Amino acid sequence: MLPERSNELNYDAVIMEVHEFMLALPSTWWQNRPSDTPMRTIKTILHNMAKVKGNAILQHLNQIPTHSELHTYLIRILKVGSLDNFIKDL
């Protein structure tokens, strides 16, 4: 995703679709499959969205339960990103 075009993306809709995907096919389901490319693709999309929006991505989780796999994954991405930025500043 290109940062300069991020305002064209409906983050709420994408996050809801990803949430529904992860409910139907959680990470544990992919562990027994020969390929987890769809889940990797979803996680790449989430990572790029979080990279562009930063902590503001959390504003788009209003309809997502805090105990969901999606919520947990986004929080982890943001924590790792914060740590990476902290290390760069040292």
55-66 pLDDT, tens digit per residue, is 999 999 999 999
Which whole number is the average pLDDT over 11-32?
94
Tokens of 39: 């889940």
Single pTM value for the model: 0.81
Which residues make Cβ contacts (< 8 Å) with residue 18, sequence separation at least 6?
42, 45, 46, 70
Which whole number is the average pLDDT over 23-42?
93
Question: Do 45 and 18 contact (CB within 8 A), yes or no?
Answer: yes
How many other CB atoms sit within 10 Å of the CB of residue 80? 12
pLDDT at 21 over 90: yes
The alpha carbon of 73 is separated from its chain's Cα centroid by a whole number of angstroms, namely 6
Average pLDDT, the chain: 87
Of all helices (H) and strands (E), which one includes residue 69? helix 69-89
pLDDT at 86 over 90: no
